[in-house]
Amino acid sequence: MITPKQRAELKGLANSLQAVFQIGKGGVNDQQITQIDDYLRVHELVKFSVLDNSLYSAREAAEEIAEKIGADVVQVIGSKAVLYKPNPKEPVIRLKNK
């Protein structure tokens, strides 16, 4: 679980990120979850977008993915969401106030 100060720090880092994954009309599937988890293992922070034709809202998709892979939802704005999952062995992002 991240603190509000850490969440603010992660939001700042996520500002410059482009959405790497898209959730479409097929919704969230196991392959996407695996790909996002693999991406987070390397980068620790990921932004994805939910397309208009999806049955999911960005909040629903973010919460489902985060629950399945043990990540934290950093923010959801419109159709975009940001997830954070620290790498326990080789951290890329060093959060303050931990």
Cα–Cα separations (whole angstroms), residue 91 to 26, 43, 87, 88: 32, 9, 5, 6
What tens digit of pLDDT does each residue of 1-25 get? 789 999 999 999 999 999 999 999 8
Rounded CA separation 97/13 (Å) = 16
pTM attached to this predicted model = 0.92
What tens digit of pLDDT does each residue of 42-60 get? 999 999 999 999 988 999 9
Give the CATH class of 4-84: alpha beta
Rounded CA separation 49/91 (Å) = 25
User: Cβ(50)–Cβ(81) under 8 Å?
Assistant: yes
